Amino acid sequence: MESLDKPNALRLITLFSGAVKGIAFYPASHPAIRQPLVDLYKILATALEGKGQVYWGLIDGIMFFEDHLFIAPSAAIADLANRMMEREISRIVVTSSIGFDELESFVKLFSAKGLRFDALSRQMAEDGITSLKLIRHGSEELEQVNDNLEGDADGDHVETYNRALSAIRTICRDIERGRIPSSAPLIKVVDQMVEITMQEPAALLGLTMIKDYDNYTFNHCVNVGVISMALGATLGLDAMSVRDLGIAGQLHDIGKTLISKDILNKPGKLSSEEFDEIKRHPELGSKILREMEGLAPHISSVVLGHHLHYNRSGYPEWASKLPFNQMVDIIAVADTYDAITTLRVYQHPVNPKTALDEMQKMTNTILDGAVLERFVEMMGNYPVGTLVRLDNNEVAIVYLPNPLDENAPLVRILIDGDGIRLRAPREKSLIEPDGTYYARIVAVVDPLLKNIDIGRLIASGHY
């Protein structure tokens, strides 16, 4: 029997977390507890068919179920992760002999406050709970599993990003040669991104810090698609809408393929004639999309309107009275964020945190205030990819938000307190399981001053 698919694995972990939390307030017979326990037991029984055991646990503070990682956790998963860290538990193993009563007893015991690993294990033995096993943090067996999980996840995501880049390059090359490009390769990779994003909206965000300055258009298109999908999922859009956002985001600037590269790459200020030429790209892109097979008609409309601005003061002016859906405003936010965090011939990039501050000045003029507010919440005080200095003088890169404390994201330390660059980044949660801080962020650091290429670091899979 194969492992549970990711949606059911996520549901299992969520049900377990909810039951543990709820049983502290209601008796086990209460419907609010009984039904989640019944549903949890059914999923466990399905997962155990033909298998001796299943397991879930933590890798560097991130919840996993067998080979599924939950990189951007819900509040329920974050709560369970904290409970497990407090109890020094890295993995919970469930064997096929488990019965419903034993599961109920374990949930009740696990919810009790003050029981750390040793006390919890002793009490399980006294209560006859033998079909579940706890593994303490740091065991050799688990560390090997963790290494395999982490490497596979990073590699898969970078590979997916690179396939998207390849699809965009092919589309641009076909347009330059006067051909109508195929949408099939792009749709295929976007479908893979949808599967990742709907489960973990922030899972691919770190990849948007990959900036190839010589191939800006390709990276920018993929990055806007990734950011738009994450924002759409965060806003509660369904999978098909997130898919359309991914396609429209990655194709939003495709019209620039027909604009002179001398204008696109001009280091100085554009003349009014040159700027008028640049402003043609939404219309050119929309026309190209209408000629491509396999794309929903409204996607070309989104591309047409992505520079109209929230107050419709943008371009093309003739389209300002046309009806546009929220996707236009989502892509405008993603486009703005990636553009101002990227080095161009005419601009120095700003760090992700500063970018959010600058974007909030555009509220309800250039950008939709409600969409921007959710974007800022999604990115957190220290967005993924931000280089920070800690109060112990270490320098680290933010690689995951912490939904329970936006000032204490998960980081990878690159430079130690003595200013020495580490040979391999060291992962750390800034807040310890007991609520004390390992360190606090005191400043945002300019990567150029430290000779750190964030994009290259992320693309290598070793950030």
Parse the chain into domains and list their residue ranges. 6-138, 145-379, 387-459
Taking alpha carbons only, the member of 220, 211, 208, 210 closest to residue 254 is: 220
CB atoms within 10 A of CB 402: 22
- Express each pLDDT in 244-302 by its tens digit: 999 999 999 999 999 998 888 887 788 999 999 999 999 999 999 999 998 988 999 99
Mean pLDDT of 69-93: 82
Q: What is the mean pLDDT of the chain?
A: 85
* Cβ proximity of 387 and 331 under 8 Å: no
The alpha carbon torsion through 388, 392, 393, 397 (nearest 10 deg) reads: -30
* Cβ proximity of 232 and 198 under 8 Å: no
User: Which two structure tokens, joined as six digits, stand for 52?
Assistant: 């001796």
Taking alpha carbons only, the member of 331, 383, 326, 397 closest to residue 355 is: 383
* Cβ proximity of 67 and 3 under 8 Å: yes
Sheet of 441-444, strands arranged across = 421-429, 410-415, 395-400, 387-390, 441-444
Q: Does residue 38 surpass a pLDDT of 60?
A: yes
Quote the percentage of the chain above a pLDDT of 90.
42
Query: What's the CATH class of domain 145-379?
Result: mainly alpha
- Express each pLDDT in 140-190 by its tens digit: 444 444 444 444 445 578 888 888 989 999 999 999 999 999 999 999 999
- Express each pLDDT in 327-374 by its tens digit: 999 999 999 999 888 766 555 677 888 899 999 999 999 999 999 999
Contact partners, residue 399, CB within 8 Å, separation at least 6: 206, 384, 409, 410, 411, 412, 427, 463
Taking alpha carbons only, the member of 204, 170, 198 closest to residue 184 is: 170
Taking alpha carbons only, the member of 446, 439, 353, 428 closest to residue 393 is: 439
- Express each pLDDT in 402-454 by its tens digit: 777 888 888 889 999 999 998 888 888 888 767 788 999 999 988 878 888 77
Please tell me the pTM assigned to this model.
0.67
Taking alpha carbons only, the member of 339, 254, 257 closest to residue 302 is: 254
User: Which two structure tokens, joined as six digits, stand for 141?
Assistant: 């067996």
- Specify the pLDDT at position 149: 41
Provide the H-helix boundaries in 279-427.
281-291, 297-305, 326-340, 352-360, 369-379
Sheet of 53-59, strands arranged across = 68-70, 62-65, 53-59, 89-95, 132-136
5 secondary structure, DSSP code: P
Degrees to nearest 5, angle at CA 152 with 160 and 455 = 55
Using alpha carbons, list the distances in angstroms from residue 121 to 13, 129, 409.
21, 9, 31
User: Which two structure tokens, joined as six digits, stand for 275?
Assistant: 């700027």
Q: Is residue 401 reached through a cis peptide bond, with omega within 30 degrees of 0 on the bond before it?
A: no
